[in-house]
Chains A and B, each alone.
Chain A
Amino acid sequence: MIYNFKVTPPWNGWSAVRAFSFFCVLLPFMALAGGIFSPAGEYWSYVRDHLLPAYFAETLLLAAGAGISTLFLGVSLAWFMSMYDFRGKNFFEVMLVLPLAIPPYIAAYAYDGLFGYTGMIQSFFRDTFGLQPVRLTANIPAQAWGIWIFSVTLFPYVYLLTRAALRNQSAALFENALLLGGGRIRMFLRIGLPLVWPAAAAGAILVCLEVLNDFGVSAYYGLNTFTTAIFAAWFGMGDADTAVKLALILLALVFVVLLVRKAAHSARRYHIVSSREKRVVPRRVKGPPQAGILLLCGLACLAGFVTPLLQMLYWLRLSWDGAFTSELTHAVTYTLGISAAATLLVMIAATGTVNAGRLFSGGFSVLLSQGATIGYAVPSAVLAIGVISLFVGADNFLSVCFPFLPDRFLSMGGIMLIFAYGIRFFTIGYQTIEAGFAKTGMIYTEASRTLGRSVTGTFFLVDLPMIRHALISGSALVFIDILKELPLALLLRPFNTETLGTTTYHFAKNEVLEKTALPSLCIVLAGTIFILLMQFWEKKKAGHVSGN
């Protein structure tokens, strides 16, 4: 007799988590898209006729400038660190990643303070040698300062991706190139560069997206970028329609950047094969080559991490008395609490989405999983406007259906900010969890299921312990990024509530730069500790793997 028993459903709780994540990401953009058809505000015609070209020019200049300079710096550092062995290399392995702990807006305050009229550099020359002050901050264009700040703080994106790509290459490729003649420079230009180009370009695109997302640096230097324009329209002119229209143009710009990336990726006619062959053994250098490499690495660390840190410590000494206020304590508590809540949300949604992607294949499945990761590419100012539109609409709906609820129940609390953080940083959680699952593959999951465990049982008993490293690294990365985030917090935080980022921003805006030290150092310290711990962990893991 033929009879059927429990049948696998076409969907389950995992696919529901993924669908929910996808629609949460999509909703703010749908709310924003409504702005295309809304009537233009009074301010819009002035912006369109007089300011729009400047917004385009300045935004593109900053993005291109930072992208190109980080490409040069990141690729050369990655090449030297992967291909050569020199004194102090281990130290620089750690130090070259630390600029990621410094948010660009904090570096901007530090550099302005350092090179300003009352800063240490000018004071030293004035007091020691009696030299007339050189107005560095005034004579150098603000755009150049902006590009400098982005370059020295964001180059690790290019450096890390390029270094990983180089370390994945077989030594035979480079050995063959050397045997065929032409020397090391030709080997770099003809073999090394083409091989790492996709990774380096991906890093530079990330830098461009960070620049398009930035508000703190542009606002501090008074640059006319789309993000500052959105803030000016929203807060300065009180014209939400113009802000929405600017946000939509910025969104279109981001999609152009993403399309360029996609086109560049599709145009590749070869694939880099990650082989198990012998990896590159770094060549020992001494004398002038070693000095040159040390100089480049040292300058990169000095510019991206040490200088801003020292300036902040100097300011901390100046502002020590009265630095520990109840407002600061509240900002620390609130920032830690909201970062932890948003990190938890991101990691649960990301783990559910990735696991659903493993369990259900097909085009629609890929669309749902990949669609949910769009948030990171979208600038915070754009996302914030979408989220506000969504939450205000939801509040209006709730006030009609549930009149007993407090007024502006959703949009006045921290929920809106947590939701926006969730969308913005979902991609980071998703990618780390996906990488964790990619390392373990499906074999353990399949083995568990043939031993009678359900999908969910397998997840908790087998999958979760196997991806615990990815889960912790992903949580740390998301937590650091939320801690550093500024534009979303500025636009979406509840009234009378400050985060560490917004506290720093307000001190800088009010030109009390010394007071930025303590909140800035809290952010930098937390970021540095996480980065150091992760590096230590990565090394331990690498040692463990090679030890096996």
Chain B
Amino acid sequence: MFLEIDAVFFAYPGKADPWILAGYSLGMEAGERVGIAGPSGRGKSTLLRLIAGLERPQKGTILIDGRLVAGRGIHVSPEERQVGMVFQDYGLFPHMTVERNIAYGLYRLNRKARRQRVESMLELIRMRDLARRYPYEISGGQQQRVAIARALAPDPKLLLLDEPLSNLDAELKAEIRAEMRELMERTNSTCLFVSHDLDDLRAVCGRIEIIGSPSEAGR
């Protein structure tokens, strides 16, 4: 297994419902694209935050590529996990241009290699012309593409997508879904995609898991 989540428990402090995830388990192979569906508040985004290292599980373990990253008194910090994440609001740094956003995670490369990688990512998302623009100067769909390119640029072992299409209108969504699928196939990314919209997941993922009541998912 490439990703192994074993009996993970997690609760936010001070919440009435004690466990947002209670004994949740999931396995994923390398190169697989798995979708996680479920209604709001059932821990979909929390699951991604736990895998990324932004939260610590109270119980259970998480292994990435055979390495224990969380559990048994261990917590590997997010910057050490080699996991890329695309946030629901994209989280593009507003004070950096598109190309500087993409280059942000490539600081370990030398200048030339970094330049080449940024060029290839801009090519991949077909946004070479907009490289010098700031995030507020491009559309929502373009921002979403930049966020994916930025997450993919450091070549992460695992890509986490947290409802990246939820802020787009219906027409744009259909277009972006197809683009995303093509991107994932071209980069052969191992990807965990969270959404409350089953159509998003069907378009991109080979397998779909449900968190919470299956009957509520995808409404």
Binding site for B on A (CB under 8 A): 1-8, 361-362, 443-444, 446-455, 461-462, 465-466, 548
Contacts and interface: CB of A to CB of B under 8 A. Distances in A.
B75 A8 contact: yes
8 contacts: A8-B53, A444-B93, A447-B92, A449-B53, A450-B151, A451-B154, A465-B95, A548-B136
A447 B85 contact: yes
B87 interface: yes
B156 to A, nearest CB: 8
B166 interface: no
A2 to B, nearest CB: 5
Interface in B20-60: 52-54
Nearest to A8: B77
B63 interface: yes
A465 B134 CA distance: 15
Nearest to A451: B105
B154 A447 contact: no
B74 A451 contact: no
Nearest to A450: B85
B206 interface: no
B54 A443 contact: no
B163 to A, nearest CB: 13
A8 B76 contact: yes
A14 to B, nearest CB: 13
A453 B52 CA distance: 13
B80 A450 contact: no
A452 B79 contact: yes
B3 interface: no
A361 B55 CA distance: 11
B54 A449 contact: yes
Given A443-B91, A450-B79, 20 more contacts: A3-B68, A4-B76, A6-B76, A8-B76, A8-B77, A444-B91, A447-B93, A448-B104, A449-B79, A450-B54, A451-B79, A451-B104, A451-B151, A452-B79, A452-B107, A452-B154, A453-B107, A455-B77, A465-B95, A466-B95
B87 A443 contact: yes
Nearest to A447: B91
Contacts of B81: 450
A2 B63 contact: yes
Given A361-B13, A448-B104, A466-B95, A2 B151 contact: no
Interface centre among A5, A447, A548 (most CB of B within 10 A): A447
Contacts of A2: 63, 66-68
B80 A6 contact: yes
Contacts of A5: 67, 76, 80
B70 to A, nearest CB: 10
A6 B77 contact: yes
Contacts of B79: 449-454
Interface in B136-166: 136, 150-151, 154, 160
A12 to B, nearest CB: 10
A444 B91 CA distance: 5
Interface string B59-103: 000010011100000111111111111010101111100000000
Nearest to B84: A450
